[in-house]
Amino acid sequence: MYNPLRIPVEQLNEQEGTVEFVVSESNLFDEGTPLIRILEIAKGQTVFILERDSDFNLRFIQSNPSYETKTAKISIRDFHDAPKLFVAFTWSEKENTIYVGDYGSEFRNGKSIKDPNIKFRVGKDGAIYQIGDKGIQVGFYRVKVGEKVVLEPMAREIFDFQMEKVRILIENCKKGDFLFESTLAQQIIVMLTTAFEVYARTRFVEFEKEGKVVNMEGLYERFIPKKYRKQFKGEINETTSKQGKTELEVFIERRSVNFQNWESFKDAYNKGYGLKIWEIGIPNDILVEAQKFIKWRHKIIHSKGDQTIINFEEVPPSEPIFTNKDLAEKALDVFQKVISKLHEKTSKL
Residues 124-168 have pLDDT tens digits of: 888 999 998 877 888 788 899 988 899 999 999 999 999 999 999
For 93-131, write each residue's pLDDT tens digit: 899 999 999 988 888 999 999 988 899 999 988 899 999
State the angle between helix axes of 226-243 and 216-223 in degrees (0 to 180), rounded to the nearest 10. Answer: 130
Poorest-pLDDT segment among 23-27, 189-193, 267-271: 23-27
Question: Which residues have C-beta within 8 Å of that of residue 204, sequence separation ≥ 6?
Answer: 248, 252, 257, 259, 268, 269, 272
pLDDT for 229 equals 93
Query: Which among 37, 17, 41 is positioned nearest to 28, based on CA atoms?
Result: 37
Task: Report the pLDDT averaged over residues 170-181.
Answer: 86
pTM, to two decimals: 0.84
In DSSP terms, 136 is beta-bridged to 133
What average pLDDT does the segment 290-311 reach? 93
Lowest mean pLDDT among 49-58, 327-336, 340-349: 340-349
Q: Is 349 a residue whose pLDDT tops 80?
A: no
pLDDT of residue 105: 84
pLDDT digits over 228-256, tens only?
999 999 999 999 988 888 999 999 999 99
Question: What per-residue confidence (pLDDT) applies to 251?
Answer: 95
Query: What pLDDT score does 347 carry?
Result: 85
| Segment 188-206 mean pLDDT | 97
> Residue 175 carries which side chain, given as an amino acid letter?
K
Whether the per-residue pLDDT at 11 is higher than 80: the answer is yes
- Written as one letter, the residue type at 177 is D
